[in-house]
Amino acid sequence: MYPTSFPDPERLPAPKDKTSDYLANTTLPETISSGQLQSISSLAETVRTQVPLLLRYLKLRDHRRAGRLMALLSRQLDVSKQGHPSWASNCRFLGRFLSSVQLILQCQHSLHQGWYLTDHGFILARQLMTHAYTLEHLYLGHSAQTLLSLALLRLFAHVVYILTYLGDPTPSTSAYSTHAIRPTLLERVLIVEQRAMTMQLSIPWVLNLKSHISQSELTGAQLGRGLMEFLDRFEVQPCGQRDFYKRLDATILSPEPNPDKPHQVLHRFPLAFTLEAELLWCTTRIDRLCVKVTLPDGIMRLFQPPFSHFQPVHRWSHTLSTDIT
């Protein structure tokens, strides 16, 4: 009997900290001074200590302290960039994260000024979502503290995205017009669903929200208040709480089944096959991907290919070549 569900992400091994691997590398150039090495070491410490503090300031809407801390982190980043070129990975992470935090500041201002009902707010929300998922995709192997920070960024991006999509879909010139016909909440959700299909996005909360609205008397104002309250008091959850799994049907290409006995079990294992999967940026944890394979006799197998077996084709597409064991 094969499993019908995927394992609990909490029980999977902790992600590997690439920064620790780098610092433990004994082939570091001898010309690096102890001060420079301390600079790159402190980047990992910054992610562990300072970034959560920065996110706390954002949650409290303390833009003055957040701005000062961002300036401090930026100066530290500039100092680190002057070191060895192989430090670029850590510098790139912190640089991308700071640019995402700047987007958060803009989005927070947009939310409280009501701009999320305009085209400007929609563009901000889309940029923030792209930043959040791109960062999470690029830094899968970083430490739990880093992933925790990315989880908060992604969570905030979701809230901003929801508020934007449920705003007034009319152009910004008529967003505050008292004569504009404002659609019902259900109509707005249908617009969200249509946009998601157009952009090839998978947004499960759209279907859940549509079902909830259809069965209740929830108004747009109630939903907006609820989301803003959530934004005020939300807590960070580790990335492991998220569902990292996506079912994929794999077609066996080699070896081909015996045409004379199409339902006979293939007894030659390991069975090699090739699968090409288009992965959008909303499917980020490719290293945790489980593949479902249906053999010619109808038996289903679930397995988790090693991350090294995925070869990138272009930015969001990977080819998987592996063995069924």
DSSP 65-121: HHHHHHHHHHHHHHHHHTS-GGGHHHHHHHHHHHHHHHHHHHHHHHHHHTGGGSHHH
> Mind spelling out the 3-state secondary structure of 226-274?
HHHHHHHHCCCCCHHHCCCCCCCEECCCCCCCCCCCCCCCCCCCCEEEE
Q: What does the domain layout of the chain look like in residue ranges? A: 10-241, 249-324
212-217: average pLDDT:
44
pTM of the model: 0.28
Q: Which amino acid is at 216?
A: S
The sheet carrying 291-294 orders its strands as 249-250, 291-294, 300-303
Highest mean pLDDT among 39-53, 136-150, 302-316: 302-316
With pLDDT > 90 as the criterion, what percentage of the chain qualifies? 0
Mean pLDDT computed over every residue of the chain: 49
* Spatial separation of the C-alpha atoms in residues 91 and 89, rounded to whole Å: 6
Task: Please tell me the predicted confidence (pLDDT) of residue 103.
Answer: 59
Asked whether residue 272 carries a pLDDT value surpassing 70, the answer given is no
Q: Which amino acid is at 79?
A: V
* Spatial separation of the C-alpha atoms in residues 61 and 108, rounded to whole Å: 8
Count CB-CB contacts under 10 A for residue 206: 20
Task: Please tell me the predicted confidence (pLDDT) of residue 156.
Answer: 52
**Number of H-type helices and E-type strands within the chain:** 9, 6
Task: Please tell me the predicted confidence (pLDDT) of residue 62.
Answer: 72
How does pLDDT run across 285-318, given as a tens digit for each residue? 555 555 555 544 445 555 565 656 666 665 555 5
How does pLDDT run across 53-63, given as a tens digit for each residue? 765 676 566 76
How does pLDDT run across 75-86, given as a tens digit for each residue? 665 555 555 444
Task: Please tell me the predicted confidence (pLDDT) of residue 199.
Answer: 46
Q: Which of 305, 294, 291 has the alpha carbon at shortest distance from 265?
A: 294
Confidence of residue 125 (pLDDT cuts 50, 70, 90): low
At 248, list the tokens: 């994929």
